Structure 1
Amino acid sequence: MSKFLVESGHVRVLVDCGLFQGGAELRRRNWDKLPCDAADIHAVVVTHARLDHCGYLPRLVRHGWPKHRPARPSTTVKFFDPVPVGSEVEITVGTRLTLHRGGHFLGSA
């Protein structure tokens, strides 16, 4: 599971939003309370699309993220903006992101 809250003086960014998988004890951790209100998270960065990195997104939305939702359910919102590796993008005002290839650690699943 991967879910890291990065905070600065003006922004909260969740890097990955994954689910715990495995035995019941691990899966129960998916119901633990977040360290802040979901509506207070300004951006979510998903490093890649696997359950252990993005599977918690529906629960995050259920708990109020993003704060500014469309007024009508029929409105389409573009949630995912792909970011090319190596390019810098502004994810919130004053907060920039550059993705680098890192791979997985040896021995990880």
Structure 2
Amino acid sequence: MSAVILNPTLPTVSRVTWAQPEGGFYVASRAGEFVGYVDTTADGHFIAFDGRSTPVGRYARLAEAKRAAVTANGRRRRTPLHGIDRRLHAAAAASGAIAAVLFAAAGTVVVPYL
């Protein structure tokens, strides 16, 4: 009997690459996925945006803005409505289940009379 030994490897973290499609505009991607971007203002500052195009901050240096755009995706804060959204989702699921039961019950009542 022979044993197969697998060589486990740690997952690699893809490097962020930056493209500059036009002057003053920088787009970040990681393994082909959009990560964020940085836009230059008229007064020479840099505005960083995360992967959802939400402004992260205004920076004096491009390197700071790039770092903020890339790291912003990992540290999202919960909005105050997060709990409300969760409760609404549960209420909608319960309503859907009740509707399905009523639909099935209506079918068992109507079908014998057809």
Scaled by the length of structure 1, what TM-score is found? 0.20
Structure whose residues are more often strand by fraction: 2
- The structure in which a higher percent of residues are helix is 2
Give the TM-score normalised by the residue count of structure 2.
0.20
Structure with more relative contact order (C-alpha pairs < 8 Å, separation 6 or more): 1
